[in-house]
Structure 1
Amino acid sequence: MGIFHQLSEFFTSCTKPPEKRIPKKTVHIRVKMDCEGCEKKVKNAVKDFDGVESYNVTKNQQRVTVTGHIDANEILDEVRSTGKTADMWSLVPYNLVAYPYAIGAYDMKAPTGFVRGVPQAVGDPKSPELKMMALFNDDNANACSIM
């Protein structure tokens, strides 16, 4: 009977549709944390979640970074279940943005060195401002056509 059982399990496993696995990704979430207790609550909620490979909770930046085979909305719901205010991280480092003080980009509540990633903040490569900046580029000594 043992061999028949193994054969039946083999054939049923071959006919089952493969489970769809969520691709590996990194999710950034902004969470309002005031103290170390808040930080600990969020860490405990994230570390026990299925599919999480690594996580980083930074109280100073009010940021949680989770990497693994996870769904972003499920992680967001798990963090919100701790009672903390949380939303998706929509901020980018200000040195990656051409116009960090464009309308809608600068946020007084954002951590130091971050601005919102809005389309107005990213410059158009055909704009005259960016062409003039490229004329006097310090990285390329041959870029300055005037000297």
Structure 2
Amino acid sequence: MGALDHLSNMFDCSSGNHKRHKQRKQMQTVEIKVKIDCEGCERKVRRSVEGMKGVTSVTIEPKQHKLTVVGYVEPQKVLSRVAYRTGKRVEFWPYVPYDVVAHPYAQGTYDKKAPAGYVRYDQDPSMNHFARANSTEVRYTTAFSDENTNACAIM
């Protein structure tokens, strides 16, 4: 916003009910998990979001139960519209490729329902699902040392 725009807004002599400029929504990609059983379900899901204002493209992958919407939309509005129009249980796409995750087969990450090559996304990386070794386990694992053969605790 330039200086002239700012000054013109300060000294606006028009009536008091002028509209503020709306900020334009950013281009976003919204991925949603929705159960798609047949071609009728696929058509219903596609039609639920194609009519939305700002939608640029709609991609459906029925085998993965994945809906991808690209456009100038708000993700929460897309999610609620699909749920309302189709009557299906929907959620944001919770999976990421297993290459991205440090421990893909950890307790909170691995999901049997995930498509091939994907694991559940762990939103909180600070929360560690691995149990820490207690002092008894540390003693047993350090009892033998390949580097220092004289450090054997048993012999």
Structure 1 length normalisation: TM-score?
Answer: 0.69
The aligned counterpart of 2:39 is: 36
Cα drift, residue 69 of structure 1: 0.8
Query: Are 1:95 and 2:94 counterparts?
Result: no
Contact persistence 1:98–1:121 (CA under 8 A): no
SS at match of 2:99: helix
CA distance in 2, matches of 1:115, 1:72: 22
Residue segments in structure 1 that go unaligned for 5+ positions in a row? 1-10, 123-147
Contact persistence 1:102–1:121 (CA under 8 A): no
Give the number of the structure whose residues are more often helix, by fraction: 1
Query: Are 1:110 and 2:134 counterparts?
Result: no
CA RMSD across the alignment: 2.0
Contact persistence 1:101–1:121 (CA under 8 A): no
Q: Once superposed, which parts of structure 1, at least 4 consecutive aligned residues long, lie more than 4 Å away?
A: none
SS at match of 1:96: coil
Aligned identity (percent) is 43
Rg larger for: 2
Contact persistence 1:24–1:69 (CA under 8 A): yes
Structure 2 length normalisation: TM-score?
Answer: 0.65
Residue segments in structure 2 that go unaligned for 5+ positions in a row? 1-13, 129-155
CA distance in 2, matches of 1:107, 1:120: 20
Q: 2:91 corresponds to which letter in structure 1?
A: D
CA distance in 1, matches of 2:112, 2:126: 18
